[in-house]
Amino acid sequence: MLIEIEAATSKKNRYTKLVDDRKECRKCAAVVNPSVCAGGKYDNAAHIGPWSDWQGNLNADTMIIGQEWGGTDNYERQFGRDRDGDPTNANLVTLMANIGVTLPPPSAMQGTTENGVFFFTNGVLCLRRGAATNRTDGEKGAKNNAISKDTFGNCARTFLRAQIELVEPRFVLVLGLLAWNGLMGAFSLAPRNTLKEAFQRGHLPLNKSTIAFPLFHCGSKLHLNRPLHLQIDDWKKMKALMDKHPLRPVTTL
């Protein structure tokens, strides 16, 4: 029992250090650290990013990696919190339900000391400047607040791999190509040209204990590249593969 307590304390201390490092990070000038946005008053000191405030179990069997949380405008408007009706969150609850998993909405976890069953994080932990999604200039359609591949690469090498090595999940579910390729770079694995290519090639091991699954993003605009009813089929197939995995029985997904 003492060994287990010491191990849990060590993991918590490592996580706290990682959170502190994220707060201090200024590697990517194009994005805004939550510790800076609105003077940092909405930045939860207990978590690496706002999505982890929904599900932040450091002993999770399954980690889910989104692309990025959103923009500074909605971060301030929502006081740094996730909303139940956000398309990504709502669709994720639906996808989980279709494989027999009840995922409480964000509002059920906020204001509690519960960390949930899973660990949620993002490929980029900082925020877009301004709007939640890519804006266009109205003339050429150029994206002017898009998060670059370099930013995904920086954050994955600095923080994403460290989170996986700390939590040690059995499965990592990755939503979207940018997050997938950032993860691949962090583990010195080959990127994919399209998410369809990544999806067709299937899951792969990151190390001896963790397997990563590429998945289409389930956000409002991005999921149109893969209709939700097809994503439900994808998740059911993924769940079947997870159930067959020889390491240990699946208990949380």
What does the pLDDT look like over 70-84, one tens digit per residue? 999 999 999 999 999
Separation in Å, CA 206 to CA 46, 160, 240:
26, 12, 20
Two structure tokens written together for 106: 């964000």
pLDDT single digits (tens) 190-225 = 999 998 899 888 899 999 889 999 999 998 765 567
pTM, full prediction:
0.90
Confidence of residue 3 (pLDDT cuts 50, 70, 90): low
Domain architecture of the chain: domains with CATH: 2-132+145-243 (3.40.470.10)
Angle (nearest 5°) at CA 160 between 159 and 162? 65
